[in-house]
């Protein structure tokens, strides 16, 4: 410790900027780790909290997937001796249409039902003025105090919301206190009478859920078993905490992405630390020599530098954690909206929450990364020979054997990595890690080789400046290679993401072109993925009577559980599908499977469901429906991108029978040849629009919509690119700062023999550009590998999608000018520092 205070602190103070940059490596890594996890966690816990708050005192909840169930179920549930109290609930997420207010979770509760489960008293005069008026008027609504405050709504005020019956004005007849339930869904919560909600949201006589309080002396497990036996397998009887656990299953793909990103960010941090420490040790060689000459043991020197890296890790992690928490807070709403769009899970991102385990983990990881980056340079420092270190002008050259060793290890790693391709799961991904580690080991060699290749080009560009810039890189590959490695990794990650985007786009477009062929989509909501609003079955008939419409295909999509995990049931008339939609079969013959499926003799599953669950043609799909457990044969497997969790196609007649659900999510409309799209649209609005909430999308609009959703997911690519650019700036500034220190004399000579300041600057800029370029070239190469593994991951473990490998050339090409520009920006300050150095001192400088 004393050595640290004595020797390190003055060094740090002297090299303030470089020390900051060193810390920045760890700061970024830790901040990304903490930020991403905090955001994910916030969204997850917001969901859990919403479930929790809404559940109130309920010890068990009965639901039937997303499909809801008939009201009669309530009486059945109430008849059980084990059930003390039972309260039905309907949930709907509505767009408030107010700028920045996001969505509103509307909870339908039975206001005249059992209140013992509620932790709130809705009938209190502090909440509702007049309960009788509230019940008598279906437009009555209670909103949370937070929501009312944010929107300037007072009791008796109006609130316009989209409903089944078009835009409807609600009257706020009550305001909930800002506690308990009102905090669910980030405070964007409203409560309605459940029967009014049924009407307004087109739910018929269905409930979404029943909250249950146990009878005295009955255990949760006992009651759960009884309820399951009573209701059959189509229902889920769960505790509120299990229910919120589903979120985790749903956000798994996101979790994987976050972990990869954090890992990369930390690796990058390791390189920056490694870079800075290597340089510091080169610079402080004589200091180390003196220490050793004065009797410090090797262990002492090693300890001192490890102590430095630990201290750097501690400080960097602390700042990183703080930044990460800020970042997490900022990302939470974005992530929340994204998850909601894609999964329709009712939750709203709330304030950031610090988590002790996360902070401890981040601190640990940050310190570990810092030590990992510092250990090699520290060992090198310990090996410094005191005699040589003190001789002026003598440099200790790293043993040439090391490079050979590195090459051997790298090739060995690649060989193992190739073997790992055969493996699965952890083995497979370990292959990726080995592959990347191999490249990292070879980075100095590769960077040197690339610099040599670049020399003629740079010389041609600027005879003196270019040659000097290239030589600077060639002579000191270690100075450059850590920056190059960091840049390479971050760009590789960005390329990997961009590749997925491209592949997804390509596949989606192809799929849409081939199968998404209805002329119009008539939906009760502006969000096709939202399943809050539904049409009654009669809409199908009403539409088909309109002039110019040839055929209408009602669609009911419902999230159901298969083996406890969510999947999407798509129920349509398969007879219509077989005529209208070409099938891209992966297993089975469309000519055989379609008639069978149309006759309700089985289901057709999407390829991703097949891949995720290991289901194939001829297997039985076990479905738990409100009519009990049903086993349906799988008639075939087709390409279908409908759902990330996997979808299956079931004929509507069979679905209606099994789920007793008559509602529709929307209708696909085929026009008669020659019919005017505009005219038909106008007619639909005229005939149905007056009494129904509906949105008509053209085929084009739907395509755009789907691509938009995809885009949101891939917004992460831009985050990646941003991180890559930041790394580039940091690394390059760092490397150049050291480079100009190392080359002080060289730069001074240049000026002494007549180099203008401009020319000195050019040398620095060109060096920066070369570093950026080399990092880019390697990054693009490693990006190809990363992309391959990303696609495999999506296919094998995340969403079961089989995407083709398509290198994102456009993205790569766009990166070139961006990286060069960023390199240039990074070189500005070091360039100025270089020309400001005193010539006389520099010339005498050894």
Residues near another protein (CB under 8 A):
110, 112-116, 121, 123, 125, 128-133, 135-138, 195-196, 199, 463-464, 467-468, 471-472, 474-475, 745-746, 749-759, 839-840, 843
Which tokens hold the place of 485? 């490695």
Q: Is 342 helix (H, G, I), strand (E, B) or coil?
A: helix
CA triplet 600, 604, 605: central angle to 5 degrees?
A: 145
* CB-nearer residue toward another protein: 9 or 845: 845
Please report how close the Cβ of residue 604 comes to another protein at its closest, in angstroms.
40
* CB-nearer residue toward another protein: 138 or 588: 138
**657/680 Cα distance (integer angstroms):** 32
* CB-nearer residue toward another protein: 452 or 679: 452
Answer whether 420's CB lies under 8 Å from 428's CB.
Answer: yes
572: nearest Cα among 507, 689, 639, 669 = 669
Please report how close the Cβ of residue 225 comes to another protein at its closest, in angstroms.
25
Give start and end residues of each alpha helix (H) in 155-297: 194-200, 220-231, 240-250, 252-283, 285-293
656: nearest Cα among 581, 558, 566, 590 = 558
Please report how close the Cβ of residue 475 comes to another protein at its closest, in angstroms.
6
Beta strand extents in 590-627 (DSSP E only): 603-606, 620-625
* CB-nearer residue toward another protein: 121 or 179: 121
**696/668 Cα distance (integer angstroms):** 10
Cα 785 from chain centre = 21
279: nearest Cα among 731, 703, 589 = 731
Range 120-124 contact pairs with CB under 8 angstroms and sequence separation of 24 or more: 120/56, 120/176, 120/177, 120/180, 120/181, 120/182, 122/174, 122/176, 122/191
* CB-nearer residue toward another protein: 128 or 266: 128
The full DSSP string for 516-549 is: ---SEEEESSS-TT--S--B-THHHHHHHTSTTE
* CB-nearer residue toward another protein: 175 or 487: 175
761: nearest Cα among 820, 822, 827, 821 = 827
* CB-nearer residue toward another protein: 82 or 540: 82
Please report how close the Cβ of residue 138 comes to another protein at its closest, in angstroms.
5
* CB-nearer residue toward another protein: 69 or 648: 69
Beta-sheet pairing, 520-523 with 83-95: unpaired
Contacts of 154 (CB under 8 A, 6+ apart): 148, 172, 175
Please report how close the Cβ of residue 137 comes to another protein at its closest, in angstroms.
6
Please report how close the Cβ of residue 229 comes to another protein at its closest, in angstroms.
25
Please report how close the Cβ of residue 114 comes to another protein at its closest, in angstroms.
5
Q: Is 406 helix (H, G, I), strand (E, B) or coil?
A: helix
* CB-nearer residue toward another protein: 186 or 831: 831
* CB-nearer residue toward another protein: 205 or 388: 205
Please report how close the Cβ of residue 116 comes to another protein at its closest, in angstroms.
7
**414/325 Cα distance (integer angstroms):** 38
* CB-nearer residue toward another protein: 131 or 373: 131
**495/785 Cα distance (integer angstroms):** 10
Answer whether 560's CB lies under 8 Å from 623's CB.
Answer: yes
Q: How many CB atoms lie within 10 A of CB 391?
A: 12
Please report how close the Cβ of residue 112 comes to another protein at its closest, in angstroms.
4
**816/50 Cα distance (integer angstroms):** 46
* CB-nearer residue toward another protein: 139 or 308: 139
Biggest CA-to-CA distance, the chain: 100
Please report how close the Cβ of residue 799 comes to another protein at its closest, in angstroms.
42
* CB-nearer residue toward another protein: 426 or 840: 840
* CB-nearer residue toward another protein: 124 or 514: 124
109: nearest Cα among 79, 139, 141, 83 = 141
**838/836 Cα distance (integer angstroms):** 6
Please report how close the Cβ of residue 747 comes to another protein at its closest, in angstroms.
10
Q: Is 808 helix (H, G, I), strand (E, B) or coil?
A: coil
Beta-sheet pairing, 603-606 with 628-638: parallel
Please report how close the Cβ of residue 92 comes to another protein at its closest, in angstroms.
17
Please report how close the Cβ of residue 3 comes to another protein at its closest, in angstroms.
34
Distances (CA, A) of 520 to 23, 533, 596: 56, 18, 27
Please report how close the Cβ of residue 444 comes to another protein at its closest, in angstroms.
17
């Amino acid at each position: 410790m004393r050595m640290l205070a004595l020797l390190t602190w003055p060094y740090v103070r002297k090299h303030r900027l470089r020390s900051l940059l060193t810390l920045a490596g760890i700061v970024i890594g830790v901040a990304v780790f903490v930020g991403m996890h905090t955001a994910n966690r916030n969204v997850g816990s917001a969901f859990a909290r919403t479930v929790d708050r809404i559940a109130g005192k309920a010890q068990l909840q009965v639901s039937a997937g997303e499909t809801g169930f008939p009201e009669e179920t309530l009486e059945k549930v109430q008849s059980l001796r084990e059930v003390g109290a039972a309260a039905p609930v309907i949930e709907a997420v509505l767009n408030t249409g107010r700028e920045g207010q996001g969505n509103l979770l509307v909870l339908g509760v039975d206001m005249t039902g059992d209140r013992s489960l509620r932790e709130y008293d809705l009938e209190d005069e502090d909440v509702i003025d007049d309960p009788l008026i509230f019940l008598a008027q279906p437009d009555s609504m209670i909103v949370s105090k937070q929501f009312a405050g944010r929107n300037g709504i007072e009791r008796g005020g109006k609130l316009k919301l989209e409903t089944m019956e078009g835009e409807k004005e609600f009257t706020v007849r009550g305001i909930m206190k800002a506690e308990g339930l009102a905090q669910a869904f980030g405070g964007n919560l409203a409560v309605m009478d459940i029967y009014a909600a049924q009407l307004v949201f087109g739910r018929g006589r269905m409930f979404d859920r029943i909250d249950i309080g146990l009878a005295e002396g009955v255990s949760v497990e006992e009651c759960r078993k009884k309820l399951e036996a009573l209701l059959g397998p189509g229902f889920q009887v769960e505790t509120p905490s299990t229910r919120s656990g589903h979120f985790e299953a749903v956000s798994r793909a996101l979790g994987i992405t976050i972990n990869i990103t954090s890992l990369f960010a930390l690796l990058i941090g390791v390189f920056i630390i490694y870079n800075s420490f290597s340089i510091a040790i080169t610079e402080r060689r004589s200091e180390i020599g003196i220490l050793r000459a004065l009797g410090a043991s090797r262990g002492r020197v090693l300890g001192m530098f490890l102590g430095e890296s630990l201290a750097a890790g501690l400080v960097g992690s602390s700042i990183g954690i703080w930044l990460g928490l800020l970042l997490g807070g900022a990302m939470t709403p974005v992530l929340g909206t994204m998850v909601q769009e894609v999964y329709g899970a009712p939750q709203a991102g709330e304030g950031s929450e610090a988590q002790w385990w996360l902070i401890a983990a981040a601190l640990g990881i940050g310190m570990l990364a810092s030590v990992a980056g510092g250990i090699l340079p520290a060992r090198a420092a310990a090996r410094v020979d005191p005699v040589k270190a003190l001789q002026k002008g003598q440099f200790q050259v790293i043993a040439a054997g090391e490079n050979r060793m590195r090459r051997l290890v790298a090739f060995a790693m690649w060989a193992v990595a190739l073997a790992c391709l055969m493996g699965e799961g952890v083995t497979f991904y370990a292959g990726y890690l080995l592959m990347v580690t191999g490249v990292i080991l070879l980075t100095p060699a590769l960077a040197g080789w690339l610099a040599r290749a670049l020399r003629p080009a740079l010389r041609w560009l600027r005879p003196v400046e270019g040659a000097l810039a290239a030589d600077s890189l060639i002579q000191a590959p270690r100075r450059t290679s850590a920056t190059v490695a960091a840049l390479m990794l971050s760009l590789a990650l960005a390329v990997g993401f961009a590749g997925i985007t491209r592949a997804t786009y390509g596949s989606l477009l192809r799929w849409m072109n081939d199968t998404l062929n209805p002329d119009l989509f008539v939906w009760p909501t502006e969000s096709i993925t939202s399943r809050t609003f539904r049409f009654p079955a009669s809409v199908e008939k009403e539409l088909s009577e309109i002039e110019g419409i040839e055929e209408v295909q009602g669609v009911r999509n419902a999230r159901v559980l298969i083996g406890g995990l969510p999947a999407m049931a798509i129920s349509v008339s398969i007879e219509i599908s077989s005529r209208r939609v070409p099938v891209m079969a992966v297993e089975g013959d469309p000519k055989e499977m379609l008639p069978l499926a149309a006759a309700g003799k089985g289901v057709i599953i999407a390829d991703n469901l097949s891949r995720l669950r290991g289901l194939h043609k001829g297997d039985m799909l076990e479905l738990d429906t409100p009519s009990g457990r049903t086993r349906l044969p799988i008639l075939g497997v087709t390409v279908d991108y409908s759902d990330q969790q996997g979808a299956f196609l079931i004929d509507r007649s069979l679905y209606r029978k099994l789920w007793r659900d008559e509602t529709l999510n929307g209708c696909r409309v085929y026009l008669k040849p020659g019919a005017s799209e505009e005219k038909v649209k106008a007619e639909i609005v005229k005939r149905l629009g007056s009494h129904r909430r509906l949105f008509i999308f053209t085929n084009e609009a739907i395509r755009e919509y789907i691509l938009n959703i995809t885009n949101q997911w891939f917004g992460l690519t831009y985050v990646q690119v941003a991180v890559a650019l930041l790394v580039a700036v940091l690394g390059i500034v760092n490397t150049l700062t050291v480079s100009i220190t190392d080359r002080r004399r060289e730069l001074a000579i240049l000026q002494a023999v007549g180099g203008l300041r401009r020319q000195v600057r050019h040398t620095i800029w060109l060096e920066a550009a070369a570093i950026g370029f080399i990092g880019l070239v390697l990054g693009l190469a490693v990006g190809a590998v990363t992309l391959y593994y990303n696609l495999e991951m999506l296919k094998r473990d995340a969403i079961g999608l089989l995407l083709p490998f398509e290198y994102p050339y456009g993205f790569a090409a766009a990166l070139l000018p961006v990286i060069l520009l960023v390199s240039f920006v990074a070189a500005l300050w070091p360039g100025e520092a270089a020309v400001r150095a005193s010539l006389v001192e520099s010339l005498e400088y050894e």
